[in-house]
Amino acid sequence: MSDTPRAARRDRTHWLYLAVIAAVGAGIIVGWLAPDLGVSLAPLGTMFVDLIKMMIAPVIFCTIVLGIGSVRTAATVGRVGGLALGYFLVMSTIALGIGLVVGNLLEPGNGMNIAKTAGAGAKYADQAHSAGGTWDFVNGIIPTTLVSSLTAGSVLQALFVALLVGFAVQAMGSAGEPILRAVTLAQKLVFRILSMILWLAPIGAFGAIANVVGKTGLDAVVQLATLMIAFYLTCLVFVFGVLGVLVRVVSGVSILKLVRYLAREYLLIVGTSSSESALPRLIAKMEHLGVERTTVGVVVPTGYSFNLDGTAIYLTMASIFIADAMGKPLSLPEQLGLLLFMIVASKGAAGVTGAGLATLAGGLQSHRPELLDGVGLIVGIDRFMSEARALTNFSGNAVATVLIGTWTKTIDVDQVRLVLDRKLPFDERTMVDEHGAPESAEPAESAEMSLVKA
């Protein structure tokens, strides 16, 4: 009988995500009927996303240190990281290619007059140039101090320092065990704080959606529906076609079951239009799924900076759309040159507000400067398209974690089956996986048995 209250406490979080759905609907109505009020609610969405971003560095730090500090050889981490980077490069290139193919087949910008938006793209090109080149990007990975890596808000800085600390603890051997125990307690504290913050998700979603609809109105969505629908469908084909087939063939995992398992994270992303809001939960859920902590700790944070499949599709489709809409279509050589540019530029388009638009503007300015003014057409619906970008990026990183785990043999196949078949539920209250599936399919019964043994 004691199982009932435990289950009830765990299941209580489903009300949170129902509230997010209601908040999104309310935000649309408020932004539509009272645009000024909707725009004024923007800080609600911004503050919620900032709260989530506040937790990302501590989550990454704890996960990496525990993962690396617990393995015996550094070569394991190096193999995972190298394989992940190679995979990310290949998949980003495929995503860019798919965007080019779909954009050329549908030509959604043909016949559209966008003269009124001329001159709106210059500031985004300035953002792209102010971001610096490749060396500035690499230099930005090195933090000012060890502590600043946890406060600067840079995922790569937190990852870099966590790797250093993890390898240092690993080299200390048994002397480093007290540090690992301390980090384990810190991780539980971090996830407990995160679970408290997530209860503010409905408020954040309400403010974000009301602001978008208040600014653009429903007319902007209707006017550019062709591009938006084409982009959404392309993302769906990529996730369920390309990624779905790949993860089925390599890992034997159903993409439908994996998406169902991550349903709450998808809903959180839709509400905030940011895949970063679900990063800490993705780390926790991938560990619970059965992927070793070391693999999760390396693949997920790195993927958030280098595996941007949705952004890649967006960049190429938006470029072709703008060129067609302005009556100056891109030739095939120009498209291929733009693709090569986007492969490099898209790697720095993570975690920065307006980074997608800035990268798009930078690519157009470097290849066809006269198309730069057309970026203004995309601005009105970019927030709506950013949701599909975020969802696709998130899906790509989830699949990548499973694939890398399979290739490096750091995934528990039996636990994957139990979790995806809903026989081993994720603990929403703590979000910390203790590693090691219970012998019984019922987690509550397993907990009872552990208490009896104690």
DSSP string for 30-48: HHHH-HHHHHHTHHHHHHH
| CB-based burial label for 66 (10 Å; 0-12, 13-18, 19+) | buried
In-domain check, residue 216: yes
- pLDDT for the residue 5: 43
| CB-based burial label for 172 (10 Å; 0-12, 13-18, 19+) | middle
Task: Report CA-CA distances (Å) from 92 to 303, 339, 356, 388, 400.
Answer: 11, 10, 15, 16, 12
Rounded mean pLDDT, 289-293: 89
User: How many CB atoms are closer than 10 A to CB 324?
Assistant: 21
Residue 420: half-sphere exposure toward Cβ, Cα within 13 Å:
19
pLDDT(320) > 60? yes
β partners of residue 411? 291
Q: What is the pLDDT of residues 170-184, one digit of tens each?
A: 788 788 888 888 888
Residue written as tokens 């084909």? 237
Nearest of 372, 273, 320 to residue 98 by alpha carbon: 320
Domain that holds residue 49: 11-453
In-domain check, residue 223: yes
Give the span between the Cα atoms of 433 and 285, in whole angstroms.
Answer: 8
Please report, for the domain that includes residue 442, its CATH number: 1.10.3860.10
Q: What is the pLDDT of residues 389-426, one digit of tens each?
A: 888 889 999 999 999 999 988 889 999 999 999 888 88
pLDDT(61) > 60? yes
Q: How many structural domains compose the chain?
A: 1
In-domain check, residue 4: no
Of residues 92 and 107, more confidence is placed in: 92
User: In whole numbers, what is the pLDDT of the chain averaged over residues?
Assistant: 74
In-domain check, residue 307: yes
Give the span between the Cα atoms of 206 and 183, in whole angstroms.
Answer: 35
In-domain check, residue 390: yes
Give the span between the Cα atoms of 139 and 46, in whole angstroms.
Answer: 28
User: 3-state DSSP call for residue 292?
Assistant: coil
Nearest of 297, 254, 268 to residue 66 by alpha carbon: 297
With cut-offs at 50, 70 and 90, classify the pLDDT of residue 201. confident
- pLDDT for the residue 217: 65
Rounded mean pLDDT, 40-63: 77
Q: Rounded to two decimals, what is the model's pTM? A: 0.64
pLDDT(253) > 80? yes
- Amino acid at position 108, single letter: P
Nearest of 372, 352, 380, 354 to residue 122 by alpha carbon: 372
In-domain check, residue 262: yes
Nearest of 347, 417, 330, 274 to residue 93 by alpha carbon: 347
